[in-house]
Amino acid sequence: MDAPLPEGLLSVVHITGDGMNFLEPLEVTDTHVVVTVPHFSAIGLLKNFIKRLLNKMRPVSGKVLLFLGQPNPKTQRQKLNVFLLPKNIHLDEVSTQQRYTENIQVPSKCKLVEDQSYSLHCPQAIKIQPKSADFDLEFGPNYDPTFEVRLPTNTEEVTLTVKDQRQMVVWEHDVDLTDSRRRIEGRNAPAGQRLHLVRPEFVRRVSGPVLNQLLDKLLHLDFINDEEVQSVKAKPVIQDKARELIDTVRKKGTRASSALIAALRKVDPNLFRVLKLRWRKIKK
């Protein structure tokens, strides 16, 4: 306040079941009025405390995401990263940070309680760490695995169970690792085969401007010609253009396929990470 409050301008009223009465302020500051209220009930304060406590213990919609890492030929071990996350975290946000791993699609829905401790169990595991972890309502930008499971590389199926601190099962699933392992191995395959593996996602995600830049780079490097560029551009929708481009390049062999992968890495690094393509320098 720029000046003292005029006398009688501020009134404090105390309302009870018996009626109301005016209270004389003991002190008036820039932000508060101090009064004495005898026999004040604690029910309101206690009610708010209980309400906050119940909201804290109320389960929220969560999900379990799995990412299988590349096998280590020396140790014959493989890592499976397990994430406990709020339901509204998009898969792509986590996938872009899990390079050189493969997302395993499983029914992920579960109920989790904030700040409660959870443990992961897997009879096929060599090691699981940590032994327990608290669930946090984290919203990025970084997403670290909640649990790391170390498995023999020849493991084909695992049973994963998430339990709360009372040892009650909140999520359980038998996970098939074979398809994910084949996709990981496919990334070490020739460039044309790698393009074939990511073709559906490339067609779904690539944008028109990125396609035009890829065409320009491949034309400049003489991996495609003017007629092939016009054939791609003549397609009516972006998805058809993407199919035409990737199929044309794959037919030209490993060098052309590697050139497209390298071009995508420079033109759209985010899509390159989402597709989890591996890039190798083209030998001259």
pLDDT digits (tens, 9 = 90+) for 8-53: 677 888 887 778 888 888 888 878 888 888 766 666 667 666 666 6
Instruction: Quote the pTM value.
Output: 0.56
- Residue 247 CB contacts under 8 Å (≥ 6 apart), including other chains: none
- The whole-number pLDDT of residue 284 equals 47
- CA distances to 21, 25, 47, 68, 153 from 181, in Å: 76, 74, 54, 8, 9
**Contact at 8 Å (CB) between 118 and 83?**
no
pLDDT digits (tens, 9 = 90+) for 210-230: 999 999 999 999 999 999 999
**271 three-state secondary structure:** helix
- The whole-number pLDDT of residue 33 equals 87
- Residue 159 carries which DSSP code? E
**Contact at 8 Å (CB) between 198 and 125?**
no
* CATH class label, 187-275: mainly alpha
- Residue 55 CB contacts under 8 Å (≥ 6 apart), including other chains: none
CA-wise closest residue to 219 among 205, 208, 233:
233
Task: Report the alpha-carbon distance of residue 114 to residue 62 in Å, rounded.
Answer: 10
Using CB atoms within 10 A of its CB, is residue 208 exposed (0-12), middle (13-18) or buried (19+)?
Answer: exposed
For the chain, where do the domains classified as CATH 1.10.533.10 start and end?
187-275
- The whole-number pLDDT of residue 26 equals 86
CATH number of the structural domain 60-183: 2.60.40.2660
For the chain, where do the domains classified as CATH 2.60.40.2660 start and end?
60-183
Residues of the chain with pLDDT under 50: 284
Strand partners, 77: 72, 152
Task: Report the alpha-carbon distance of residue 75 to residue 67 in Å, rounded.
Answer: 19
Phi-psi region of 76 (alpha: psi -120 to 50; beta: other; left: phi over 0): left
- Structure-block tokens of residue 92: 């792509």
Task: Report the alpha-carbon distance of residue 162 to residue 171 in Å, rounded.
Answer: 5
**Alpha helices per DSSP H over the chain:** 43-57, 91-95, 178-186, 191-205, 208-220, 226-233, 238-251, 254-267, 269-275
Strand partners, 69: 101
- Residue 123 CB contacts under 8 Å (≥ 6 apart), including other chains: 159
